[in-house]
Amino acid sequence: MADTPEAIKKSVKTYLFVGGILFLGTIITVLVATVPALDIGRHGFDAMDCILGLAIATFKASLVAYIFMHLNHEKKAVYWLFGSGLVMVCSLAFLTALAIFDPIYDVFFYSGK
């Protein structure tokens, strides 16, 4: 980790810059969602909006984790510890959502067809 005073002074600028990017990313997401002229796919909310919104959010989250939470200077062990949570959460979200491929699902849940 950047422990010397010089290194920390230097990184303060990075923090400000990253903060700026986070603000900008938020504004872009909101504009895309609220201004009809900026719709990428269909008119209104659709999969493209979802992908774009989550992509920007993921980018912002990675910036926070990488710069603010010092993952850029962090030891390998931390990646293992935190990564284990990330992997498991993906398996949870993905495997539970698999249920939508289930034919029986449609009996219980209304589908728009």
Report the nearest approach of other proteins to the CB of residue 103 (Å): 7
Residues 20-49 interacting with other proteins (rule: CB under 8 A): 22-23, 26, 29-30, 33-34, 39, 42-45, 49
Q: How many CB atoms lie within 10 A of CB 78?
A: 13
From residue 93, how far is each of 55, 98, 103 by CA, in Å?
17, 9, 20
From residue 109, how far is each of 15, 47, 98, 99 by CA, in Å?
47, 21, 15, 11
Taking the C-alpha atoms of residue 19 and residue 11, their distance in angstroms, rounded to an integer, is 12
Q: How many CB atoms lie within 10 A of CB 67?
A: 19
Residues 56-85 interacting with other proteins (rule: CB under 8 A): 56-57, 60-61, 64-65, 68-70, 75, 77-78, 81-82, 84-85
Which residues form the interface with other proteins (CB under 8 A)? 3, 5, 8-9, 11-12, 15-16, 18-19, 22-23, 26, 29-30, 33-34, 39, 42-45, 49-50, 53-54, 56-57, 60-61, 64-65, 68-70, 75, 77-78, 81-82, 84-86, 88-89, 91-93, 95-105, 108-110, 112
